[in-house]
């Protein structure tokens, strides 16, 4: 029996999707308010998340898992793209000293736990991240490029899907694949529930980065006000 999983995921995660978009970090990002220090932390966190997901999905595909094996599209993989971006934002030895934030670490642990205990639920994490990247990637790329004053693809490889020429056609095929997975309604319900947990993992990561962004904005504002104060003092002295 097949279930309309694509529609159930879309409808069942609408609230979580809206909540994620309304986090301070994402709201600021969509408005073009982001600093390079915070953004590169996001890139690093995503590297660890995608590494965990692609390791587990790759393993399960090699083992011919009946469900996970169907959604392991290699053209979606982001790890190597993120590694290219990290080469740009950090030194070439970044792998020796970069660590995930606490929220990203918890996200990674959730992925490994699901892969071990209920591999079918990886579909939820796959859908939440990859389909979101493919759907809004170009918009986010343009925002990041402008906000961070980046040229060409430097630091923006994450948003490039070189092996997917037609995004709309790919998403249609992805939805068809979700609907053809050999699962029953009980498992579909669990996958939707896990997708909401995946959104929560992302929101926790964004909220952690939000603190870094606020600190960075505060530092810039403090510097601006300090310079104005000093300038004002000089002007006053000129009239004394």
Quick one: tokens of 96?
Answer: 């020796």
Place of tokens 């030895």: 93
- Rounded to whole angstroms, the Cα distance separating 61 from 71 reads 9
227 pLDDT more than 70: no
- Local confidence band at 240 (pLDDT 50, 70, 90 cut-offs): very low
Tell me the per-residue pLDDT of 15-58, one tens digit each, with 9 for 90 and over: 999 999 899 888 888 888 888 888 999 999 999 999 999 999 99
Angle CA 29–23–109, to nearest 5: 100
Mean pLDDT in residue range 91-112 = 95
Contact (CB, 8 A) for 202 and 104:
no
- Local confidence band at 6 (pLDDT 50, 70, 90 cut-offs): very high
Residue 236 has a pLDDT of 45
Residue 221 has a pLDDT of 42
**Which is nearest to 106 in space by CA: 240, 205, 17, 219?**
205
Contact (CB, 8 A) for 6 and 178:
yes
Tell me the per-residue pLDDT of 102-134, one tens digit each, with 9 for 90 and over: 999 999 999 999 999 999 999 999 999 999 999
CA quadruple 81, 83, 86, 92: dihedral sign = negative
Give Cα 162 distance to the centre of its chain: 18
In order, the DSSP letters of the chain are ----HHHHHHHHTHHHHHHHHTSHHHHHHHTT---HHHHHHHHHHHHHHHHHHHHHHHHHHHTT-TTHHHH--GGG--HHHHHHHHHHHS-TTGGGT----HHHHHHHHHHHHHHHH-GGGHHHHHIIIIIHHHHHHHHHHHHHHHHTT--TTTT-GGG--TT-S-HHHHHHHHHHHHHTSS--HHHHHHHHHHHHHHHHHHHHHHHHHHHHHHHHHHHHHHHHHHHHHHHHHHHHHHT-
Tell me the per-residue pLDDT of 137-188, one tens digit each, with 9 for 90 and over: 888 899 999 989 998 778 999 999 999 999 999 999 999 999 999 999 999 9
Residues 6+ apart with CB under 8 A from 128: 13, 195, 198, 199, 202
Residue 152 has a pLDDT of 77
Longest dimension (CA), the chain: 87
Residue 35 has a pLDDT of 85
For residues 210 and 111, the model is more confident at: 111
Residue 232 has a pLDDT of 53
- Local confidence band at 91 (pLDDT 50, 70, 90 cut-offs): confident
| Fold assignment, 5-210 | Heme Oxygenase; Chain A (1.20.910)
- Among 3-7, 107-111, 194-198, 227-231, where is mean pLDDT lowest? 227-231
86 pLDDT more than 80: yes
């Amino acid at each position: 029996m097949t279930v309309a999983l694509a529609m159930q995921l879309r409808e069942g995660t609408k609230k979580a999707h809206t909540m994620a978009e309304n986090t301070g970090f994402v709201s600021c990002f969509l408005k073009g308010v982001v600093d390079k220090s915070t953004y590169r932390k996001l890139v690093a966190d995503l590297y660890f998340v995608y590494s965990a997901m692609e390791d587990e999905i790759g393993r399960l595909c090699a083992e011919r898992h009946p469900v996970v094996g169907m959604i392991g599209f290699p053209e979606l993989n982001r790890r190597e793209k993120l590694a290219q971006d990290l080469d740009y934002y950090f030194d070439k030895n970044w792998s020796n000293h970069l660590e995930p934030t606490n929220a990203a670490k918890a996200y990674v642990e959730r992925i490994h736990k699901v892969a071990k205990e209920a591999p079918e639920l990886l579909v939820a994490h796959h859908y939440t991240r990859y389909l979101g990247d493919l759907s809004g990637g170009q918009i986010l790329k343009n925002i990041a490029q402008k906000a961070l004053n980046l040229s060409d693809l430097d630091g923006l490889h994450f948003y490039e899907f070189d092996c997917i020429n037609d995004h709309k056609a790919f998403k249609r095929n992805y939805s068809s694949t979700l609907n053809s997975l050999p699962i029953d309604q009980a498992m579909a319900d669990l996958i939707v529930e896990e997708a909401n947990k995946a959104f929560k993992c992302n929101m926790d990561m964004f909220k952690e980065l939000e603190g870094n962004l606020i600190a960075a904005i505060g530092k810039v504002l403090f510097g601006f006000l300090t310079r104005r104060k000093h300038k004002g003092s000089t002007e006053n002295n000129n009239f004394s």
